[in-house]
Amino acid sequence: MAKTDIGPPDYKTMLPPVIERNYGKWLYHEILKPGVLMHVGESGEALYSVRAGSPRLVSTDHIREICDIAEKYCQGFLRFTSRHNIEFLLDDEDQIEPLVAELKSRGYPVGGTGHSISNIVHTQGWVHCHTPATDASGPVKALMDEIYEHFVESKLPAHVRIALACCLNMCGAVHCSDIAILGIHRTVPKTDNSRVPNVCEIPSTIASCPTGAIRGDMKNKTLTVNDEKCMYCGNCYTVCPAMPIADPENDGISIWVGGKVSNARSKPMFSKLAIPFLPNNPPRWPEVVHAVKNIIEVYASHAKKHERMGEWIERVGWERFFALTGIPFTDQHIDDFDLATETFRTSAQFKWR
């Protein structure tokens, strides 16, 4: 019988000796070049981390390749980052260049540090989930190919964090990203009332709807959606499989901007709607790639140093953001959920554009 509740391996057994010795006693760091960090301890000892990009959806052979590299240069010590990059941990400065060279030759991008675009946090999409309105890995790959330079170089005004979630559940918390790419449905779920009695609990389905669009008939065990109140979040489908919502023609992607998580300078902020809808256009989602690149370029050429996307927009104003990016403003940009009034312009201060 397998042991249960043993928890994960103790991280202490996973740390390279240089970390063990300097644990909690680091003094400062420097970014030696994009993707290469040096952390210096109070002891004077240095740890070098080389960060490489990853598609996150990786095969066991790919992991073994990473292991091979780590064994060759890092005594077998490595880590993954909170954005799913790979970090090779070295104590020997001389190994940096050979490692970087080998990584490049094997097609691993080295970068993601400082004022760059790091890996795109993303989710399952069509690879494994049941509620996606788009794929995850595909748009990420298509986009990273096009903004590759911003991963391997560090030439933006500040960090730009991009995330993608394939449905409104927002796994990965795209809601606080400089640029969020979000799969959305746009049509009302098609309730199959013949299945409802078997697979759905009526009260919890009703409760699942954020806008109260679902009415239930307890006697006949049926559910009805008020089309006018439904904003296609898909939450009812999560609790009731008889309410599928995917719709190949009308599902797609929305783009959100200006969120952040860190407390540096400004407080954490949610991302705000920039583009309500772009079509799903596999395999390379050109409309999405184009839209995101446009936003990055406008940001890069207008923001001041250290200014995150949201900080820049707050400074110049949303009217200016829409003018500069050429993105049309629509009634969909205006909040109409619970806290909507907090977003209304309750002042006479605004710019003409």
Partner 1 sequence: MERSDTPLLDELEKGQWPSFVKDMKEAARKNPMAKDLLKQLELSYKDKIGHWKHGGIVGVKGYGSGVIGRYSDRPDLFPHVQAFHTMRVNHPSGWFYKTETLRKLCDIWDKHGSGLTNMHGSTGDAILLGTTTEHLQPCFNDLSDAGFDLGGSGSALRTPSACVGPARCEWACVDSLDLCYHLTMAYQDQMHRPMFPYKFKIKISACANDCVAAIARSDLSIIGTWKDAIRINADEVRAYAENINIQKEVCDLCPTRCMEWDGNKLKIYDEDCTRCMHCINVMPKALRPGKETGASILVGGKAPIVKGALLSWVVVPFMKLEPPYDELKDLIERIQDWWDEFGKSRERLGELIQRLGMRVFLKAVGLPAVPQMVKAPRTNPYVFFWPEDLKKEEK
Instruction: Label residues 113-140 b or e (16+ Cβ within 10 Å = b).
Output: bbbbbbbbbbbbbeeebebbbbbbbbbb
For ligand SRM, the binding residue among 15, 31, 38, 300 (CB under 6 A) is 31
241-280 footprint of ligand SRM as x/- string (CB under 6 A): -------------------xxx-x----------------
For ligand SRM, how many residues bind (rule: CB under 6 A)? 32
3-class secondary-structure state, position 117:
strand
Q: CB-side exposure of 48: number of CA atoms within 13 Å?
A: 19
Q: Is 324 exposed, middle or buried (0-12, 13-18, 19+ CB in 10 A)?
A: middle
CB neighbour burial string for 194-229, b if at least 16 within 10 angstroms, e if fewer: eebeeebebeebbebbeeebbebeeeeebbebeeee
Which residues of the shown chain bind a second copy in the complex (CB under 8 A)?
Answer: 263, 267-268, 338-339, 341-342, 346-349
Q: Which is nearer to partner 1, 116 or 131 (CB)?
A: 131
Cβ(302)–Cβ(324) under 8 Å?
Answer: yes
End-to-end CA distance of the chain: 68
- Strand-by-strand arrangement of the 36-41 sheet: 26-33, 36-41, 46-52, 86-90
| Nearest approach, Cβ of residue 97 and partner 1 (Å) | 21
In the complex, what is the shortest distance from the CB of residue 219 to ligand SRM, in angstroms, rounded to a whole number? 28
- Say whether residue 62 binds ligand SRM (CB under 6 A): no
Select the residue interacting with ligand SRM from 15, 32, 38, 171 (CB under 6 A): 171
Binding site for ligand SF4 (CB under 6 A): 123-124, 129, 131-132, 165-167, 169-171, 189, 208-209, 211, 213-214, 225, 230-236, 245
Work out whether 204 is an interface residue with ligand SRM (CB under 6 A): no
What are the residues binding ligand SRM (CB under 6 A)?
29, 31, 37, 81-83, 85, 112-114, 118-119, 121, 123-124, 128-129, 131, 158-159, 161, 169-173, 238, 260-262, 264, 308
